[in-house]
Structure 1
Amino acid sequence: MKKILLLLGVCVATTTLGQVKDYPFKAVSFTAVRVTDSFWLPRLRINHMVTIPASFERCESTGRVRNFEMAAAHSGKFCTTFPFDDTDIYKTIEGASFSLSLFPDKKLSAYIDSLIIKIGKAQEPDGYLYTARTINPASPHEWAGTERWIKERELSHELYNAGHLYEAAFAHYYATGKRSLLDIALKNADLVCSVFGPDKKHVAPGHEIVEMGLVKLYRITGKKEYLETAKFFISERGHYMGYDTNSKDPWKSGAYWQDNKPVTEQYEAEGHAVRAGYLYAAMADVAALTGDEGLLHAIDTIWMNMVSKKMYVQGGLGAVPSGERFGDNYELPNATAYNETCASIASVYWNYRMFLLHGDSKYMDILEKTLYNGLISGLGLDGKSFFYSNAMEIKNSFSHKNLEPERSGWFDCSCCPTNLTRLIPSIPGYVYAQKDDNIYVNLFIASNATLTLQNRAVNIEQQNSYPWDGDLVFKISPEKTPAAFNLLIRIPGWAQNEAVPLDLYKFTTSSDKKPVIKVNGQPVEYEMKKGYASLTRTWKKNDRVEVLLPMEVRKIKANEMIKDDIGKVALQRGPVIYCGEWVDNNGKTSNIIIPYDAVFTSAYEPGMLNGVEVINSNVPVVVIDESGQTVSTVQRKFTAIPYYAWANRGKGEMMVWFPGKINDIDLLTDRPVSNTISK
């Protein structure tokens, strides 16, 4: 079997073409990093023991597996809701394959094999694989169209299904060495390449991911048609004549699908946030592998727009529920925030690729913010309950009659739960990267890793209690000593008075506390290179590097163009964004005021929410007397928890942004308020 280096969906492989171009910064395989971390290791285990089995069970109980069985028999009726329900099985196989590399499991491996047999039997002789049509071609799903591919641009998701098949096949092949799913994927990819191309059928896939999947198959096989077709699908965007490109309606203009302009003329994050993130990640892949400067310039510009104008403070993307999409610049409302979990996952894929292109810590800063906040908030602490969208506030007053969110075990459209199964076990692969004689430390996860640098093995052991504690220890042990190389440790923006790159969010005050680095107990001076502290030396066995990051509670203010956040503050400690939840604050959070001069303390609570650092203060809260005639403020204890941990103790109010003073009060009538929520 050809040797493959896999990293979190960004992979570097030796191919038969002898590739010249690729990402200048190289990922380090997640299998090279053995996690011992008290924050992430339990999550990796829960994913393996709870989330993946629950996902497979729900694929069985909801009929997703049955769809493949009926497709193989060419008999029955498609029995789930959406034509892309096939992908829930593919995504869970991908996650399970990653997890098998971390936790060998014969029973799980055998079950995956049984599913792959069913998938293979459902595949048509020419490679077509799409149960929503194959079960009964004479009466396919209403989104599918009467013929193959004719509704691909808008509804059918045929190529979306194919993309997740390719992603799963890559992971399964890498984890197990088996070709069973890979051969199914290659047969399908050969069909796709025979159908679509410059002198063949033209379409821009309605829901991107096939482009990323084709790139992965290219890395395995070296077959240039896969890379060429990925690039073709990207270049097809913006050439369809059936849209009204002057329309402000994103569906009518094609913006919803990122299809209103050629990608090299798109300079703003727009449309469905998940589709957009997958597109931008694929553009990075193709730019790296082909040297396409136009694609590179476009995604650089789009990234700047997203980070400076369209990202929530916890890293969430997609402000508008209608279409699960980006809004206008600075359109980041709290009461109606959408923040689909899948969009955060797409953001991680995209930002890591941006780092691999440029080697700048700002991309890892956004990845870290997303990972510790807006992404894992989508997964309940039990490992089997989920948020599809991730709210920014929940108010239960007469004037703000919101639904009280409750995590769900499954959804009709269950893309987010199954997407989490594949993201979580790949996290160790984001820790390190390499270039020439440089080792980059990107994430702080207690672990033991062995890297190969210039044909020499280097062991790095991380010891820390991150994200709760900023004291980080790295033990460096080259296999052959002495060994000269550069160790570049990311100094997070939040440790340098930068809430996020650019100016969408800022800390309200500047801290005079600076990161300190010691080598073998002695403080050292270090050079900063694109956000990394560069330590250049000849390393010996058991050299010890200590990095002391200031862990203060910081207040954040938003750019004044974000109307919902004017006069408000959010709270951050280390990489973690905090929120107030009803259960810790006398049943209510929408009445809390956090003045400019509020003083905070923090404490680790091991028995709370699986162990969290909480923030405490005494702040004014608005109270109304029993008669409803008098409004006043009283000082009360305020407790904030990490945003990711909310809604694990029942339903109630939650707030991320708190006013600094009282600006207005709603006066209510006694009329009854309907509990009906329109969607």
Structure 2
Amino acid sequence: MKYAILLLLLIGKITYAQNLQDYKINPIQFNKVKLADKFWLPRIETNKNVTIPTSFARCENTGRIKNFEMAAAKKGKFCTTYVFDDTDIYKTIEGASYSLAVYPDAKLDNYIDSLIVVIANAQEPDGYLYTARTINPENPPSWSGKERWINEANMSHELYNAGHLIEAAVAHYQSTGKKNFLNIAIKNANLLVATFGENKRSVAPGHEIVEMALVRLYRITANESYLKLAKFFIDQRGKKKYDIQDNNPWKNGKYWQDNETVIEQNEAVGHAVRAMYLYSGMADVAALTGDPGYIKAIDKIWDNMCSKKMYVQGGIGAVPDGERFGNDYELPNATAYNETCAAVGNVYWNQRMFLLHGDSKYIDVLEKILYNALLSGVGLDGKSFFYTNAMQIIDGVSHKDAEATRSGWFECSCCPTNISRFLPSLPGYIYAQMNDQIYINLFVASITELEINKEKIKITQNNNYPWDGNLNIAVDPERTLKFSLNLRLPGWVRNEAIPSDLYKYEESGKTGFKVMVNGINVNYHVKKGYVVINRQWKKGDAVKFVLPMQLKKIIAKKNLVENQGKISLQRGPIIFCGESVDNVAAISSIRIPSTAQFTGDFHSEILNGVIKLKAPVISLKANGAENRVQLTVIPYYAWANRGKGEMSVWFPEMTK
């Protein structure tokens, strides 16, 4: 039984909790995993040393903190652009709190406490916290609406702000043990409980996340009213009257995932970030209540996204107009939107789907997003960002909605602060446990300790992933103990480019892998994409898991007309792209012969260390003349760190 249920039983509130369950699989918490990884550890440290301080500084110099100070004084004029700008402070505090849990820092701790005082002063007596209105209630910004909540179903973002407030406060409490921020969030959540629910005000939140947040608050407080309200908000979707025949997503409700009740929905629609937070919230509530309608719906939606609405590097939300999903197979390259926040949200959702179902396909998608669509959103310097993540830049000029260069900040700065809160939590995605089964989901050099039947077990990963597929795993139980070690066998090893037929590898056939214990081939079976080794483990056991890292050429389903006759390149979990700075010929002129043989070498001197792939190719000139040139490609996540130029993920393939 889970902690939340135990606590409910202990304090006697069992009437609602008796029917509750939880995710059958438990992730090992991020602060119980110590990284020693050459790939992720420097990025997390850059986030600590650069991204988080930069985010706080920009919250100060853009007026975001000033908005809270004016709200406390109840005078002035809301001085930023968007009514959800409050959340940039919350998200940065969340990331800083995770960082504090691993890297104690008295100066940062004190600074966060000072911000919490500013936030507390801005909170109204009944718990309402929304600076855009509190500064001047008689004349709030137009998105806010003239009164509390009346524009929530549209664009006020009042509940969105509350959601990020709660997420940050719970993170701060779990990381520091302090309740100063948590008390603010509880006061705000209690206002929501008093305002919304059966026989009270009802609304489908305009920008979801409060659903996830209320579940998270429920888990640490055991206050069942928060869980009930989360489910109430989810169940309000599809009740508003829209013209469902209208193709305009705002007029048919799809933009807000409000066109149907959630249990009737079967495709990923609307604003991609909103969608990810909704589906994550549905998974959370389903895990706790066992609601079969929710599970059936998110299963169908996930299948639709993976089979019809995801870019080859894991990006989602193709359409710039509304930052949203398009129709099935609407995945253009030149105008691809692929918001960084949507990638973060998609990691949240896929982790939850794994915890529900225990299938590696969800971690396969999570890994694809993590190493490609998400990581491209932050520059190697830790202080430059992409809001959108392009698939193609021609002549060094982007489409008006596709960024060709990274920015230090945005007027709408949701993506930089989302990155700052996500990266410190990454260690929490590596390991998971269900009873006597240990899952290794991500191959990140690290150490963790867990327990089976009160017996301690230490797991140590040592590798050079994602560049090398030779994985070494030390398994050290305190005493000899029988349990299952579940090693994810990535889809790219099983010759599966994605868990659908949307993309596939040009060459079919099984790819070999090796698994040994103490240098000897070991009995195992494959279940739900995991190599399962069930045995008596003893201290000092060493697992060798070898994943072949050959280059694979990806082709797209015929429905993706724009990508027909083209290939994309993948090695391990990494998708590659061509960038002008590495190539003499224009990227848009490149044609890859089907017989081209790529070679790869690690270059420690560029882009913080990457593998470059090279091959002889053809550059096709405007007059039809062909020149033999060399193509160099780099990991997609690393593009646009060395200046402006052309870039492409897809290349025409020549079969002659």
TM-score grouping bracket, smaller chain normalisation? over 0.9
Instruction: Please give the alpha-carbon distance, in whole angstroms, between the structure 1 residues aligned to 2:386 and 2:173.
Output: 30
Q: Distance in 2 between matches of 1:287 and 1:400?
A: 40
Determine if the alignment matches structure 1 residue 650 to structure 2 residue 643: yes
CA drift at 1:397: 8.2
SS in structure 2 at match of 1:270? coil
Q: 1:472–1:546: 8 Å Cα contact kept in structure 2? A: yes
> 2:549 maps to what in 1?
551
What is the letter of the counterpart of residue 542 of structure 1? Answer: G
Letter in 2 for 1:165: L
> In structure 1, what is the equivalent of residue 232 of structure 2?
232
Where structure 2 has 5 or more consecutive residues not aligned to the other structure, the ranges are: none
Counterpart of 1:619 (choices 617, 628, 650) is 617
CA contact (8 A) 1:12 1:26 kept: no
Deviations along 1:200-233, whole A, 9 cap, x unmatched?
1110000000000000110011111100000000
1:223 and 1:377 map into 2 onto residues whose CA distance is 39
Change over 3 Å in CA distance of 1:398–1:14 after alignment to 2? closer
Cα 1:175–1:192, aligned 2, differ >3 Å: closer, same or farther? same
**C-alpha contact 2:165 2:185 (8 A) present in aligned 1:** yes
Question: Which amino acid in 1 is paired with 2:641?
Answer: N
Instruction: Give the unaligned 5+ runs of structure 1.
Output: 6-10, 625-629, 664-679
Instruction: State the one-letter code of the partner of 2:449.
Output: T
Q: How many angstroms apart in 2 are the aligned matches of 1:443 and 1:84?
A: 33
Moved more, 206-215 or 631-640: 631-640
The one-letter amino acid of 2:338's match is: N
Aligned to 2:527: 529
**Equivalent residue, structure 1, for 2:254:** 255
Q: Secondary structure at the match of 1:613?
A: strand
SS at match of 1:494: coil
| Aligned mates of 1:403, 1:509 — CA distance in 2 | 32
Shift of 1:621: 1.1
Measure how far apart 1:13 and its partner are. Answer: 8.2
Tell me, yes or no, if the aligned pair for 1:592 and 1:659 is still in contact at 8 Å: yes
AA paired with 2:310?
M
C-alpha deviations, 1:142-191, integer Å up to 9, x for none? 11111000000111000000000000011000000000010000000000
Per-residue deviation, 1:474: 0.3
- Deviation for aligned residue 1:402: 9.1
In the alignment, what sits opposite 1:150?
150
User: Does structure 2 conserve the Cα–Cα contact (< 8 Å) formed by 1:361 and 1:531?
Assistant: yes
The amino acid across from 2:348 in the alignment is Y
| Equivalent residue for 2:596, pick from 588, 595, 598 | 598
Q: Give the aligned partner of residue 289 of structure 2.
A: 290
Maintained 8 Å contact 2:263/2:293: yes
**Equivalent-residue separation in structure 1 for 2:318 and 2:179 (angstroms):** 41
Aligned pair count reads 649
Report if aligned partners of 1:14, 1:219 keep a CA contact under 8 Å in 2.
Answer: no
Question: Structure 1 stretch 223-232 or stretch 15-24: which is displaced more?
Answer: 15-24
Q: What SS is found at the alignment partner of 1:583?
A: helix
Q: Say whether the 8 Å CA contact 1:337–1:390 is kept in structure 2.
A: yes
What letter is aligned with 2:649?
Answer: V
**Offset of 1:594 from its aligned partner?**
1.4
1:587–1:652: 8 Å Cα contact kept in structure 2?
Answer: no
Distance 1:217 1:332 in 2: 37
CA–CA separation in structure 2 for the residues paired with 1:287 and 1:577: 33
Classify 1:488/1:76 alpha carbon distance in 2 versus 1 (closer, same or farther; 3 Å).
same
- The code of the aligned residue for 1:185 comes to A
Task: Provide the residue aligned with 1:166 in structure 2.
Answer: 166
Contact 2:166/2:217 (<8 A) preserved: yes
For the structure 1 residues 650 and 587, does the alpha-carbon distance in structure 2 shift closer, same or farther, using more than 3 Å as the test? farther
Q: Which amino acid aligns with 1:488?
A: N
Matched, 1:273 2:266: no
Structure 1 Cα separation of the partners of residues 523 and 328 of structure 2: 41
- The 10-residue stretch of structure 1 (590-599 or 254-263) with the greater mean CA deviation from structure 2: 590-599
Q: Structure 2 matches for 1:472-483, cutoff 5 A?
A: 472-479=471-478, 481-483=479-481
Contact 1:394 1:402 in 2 (8 A): no
Q: Using the alignment, how far apart are the partners of 1:194 and 1:111 within structure 2?
A: 32
For the 8 Å contact 2:459–2:476, the answer to whether it is kept is: yes
Structure-1 residue corresponding to 2:494: 496
Which secondary structure does the structure 2 equivalent of 1:593 belong to? strand
CA change 1:199–1:512 in 2 (3 A) is closer
The one-letter amino acid of 2:92's match is T
Deviations 1:94-113 (A, max 9, x none): 00000111111111110000
Q: Residue 452 of structure 1: CA displacement?
A: 1.8
What is the CA distance between 1:524 and its match in structure 2? 2.0
Give the counterpart letter for 1:427 in structure 2.
Answer: L
1:623: how far off? 2.9
Whole-angstrom distance in 2 between the partners of 1:13 and 1:303: 32
1:465 is aligned to 464
Question: 8 Å contact 2:5–2:222 — kept in the other structure?
Answer: no
The whole-number CA distance in structure 2 between the counterparts of 1:120 and 1:154 is 27
* Alignment pair present for 1:571 and 2:564: no
State the Cα distance separating 1:141 from its structure 2 match: 1.2
Per-residue deviation at 1:12?
Answer: 9.3
Task: Give yes or no for contact 1:404–1:651 (8 Å, CA) kept in 2.
Answer: no
1:363 alignment partner in structure 2? 362
Per the alignment, in what secondary structure is the counterpart of residue 383 of structure 2? coil
Equivalent pair of 2:585/2:629 in contact (CA under 8 Å): no
The structure-2 alpha-carbon separation of the partners of 1:112 and 1:401, relative to structure 1 and needing over 3 Å to count, comes to: closer
Match of 1:134 in 2: 134
Q: Is the 8 A contact 1:587 1:653 kept in 2?
A: no
- Inter-CA distance 588–610: structure 2 relative to 1 (3 Å threshold): same
Q: Which residue of 1 is the match for residue 394 of structure 2?
A: 395
Q: Distance in 1 between matches of 2:340 and 2:482?
A: 42
2: CA distance between counterparts of 1:576 and 1:386?
Answer: 20
The one-letter code sitting in structure 1 at the alignment partner of 2:643 is G
Q: Secondary structure of 2:507's match?
A: coil
> Any conservation in 1 of the 2:337–2:402 contact (CA below 8 Å)?
no
Task: Give the equivalent residue in structure 2 for 1:338.
Answer: 337
Equivalent position SS for 1:43: helix
3-state secondary structure, aligned to 2:169? helix
The percentage of counterpart residues that share the same residue type is 59
Which position in structure 2 is the counterpart of 1:561? 559
Q: How many angstroms apart in 2 are the aligned matches of 1:255 and 1:400?
A: 25
Matches within 5 A, 1:63-78: 63-78=63-78
CA-to-aligned-CA distance 1:594-630 (integer Å, 9 cap, x gap):
1222211111111110000111111111135xxxxx4
Does the 8 Å contact 2:94/2:168 carry over to 1?
A: yes
Shift of 1:497: 0.6
Which of 635, 640, 663 is 2:633 aligned to? 640
Instruction: Give the whole-Å Cα distance in 2 for the aligned partners of 1:368 and 1:403.
Output: 24
* Range with greater deviation from structure 2 (297-306 or 393-402): 393-402
SS of alignment partner, residue 493 of structure 1? coil
Distance 1:513 1:259, change over 3 A: closer
Partner SS for 2:535 = strand
How far, CA to CA, are the matches of 1:27 and 1:575 in structure 2? 22
Aligned to 2:321: 322
- Compared CA separation, residues 239 and 89, structure 1 to 2 (3 A): same
Q: Is the 8 A contact 2:396 2:404 kept in 1?
A: no
- Does the residue aligned with 1:641 lie in a helix, a strand or coil? strand
* DSSP 3-state at the match of 1:200: coil
- Greater shift after overlay, 532-541 or 397-406? 397-406
- In the TM superposition, residue 358 of structure 1 has moved relative to its aligned partner by 0.2
For residue 456 of structure 1, report the CA deviation from its aligned partner.
1.5
SS at match of 1:114: helix
1:525 offset after TM fit, Å?
3.3
SS at match of 1:143: helix
Task: Indicate if the aligned counterparts of 1:13 and 1:220 stay in contact, CA closer than 8 A.
Answer: no
Kindly provide the CA deviation profile for residues 433-457 of structure 1, in whole angstroms up to 9, marking residues without a partner as x.
1111000000000011111222121
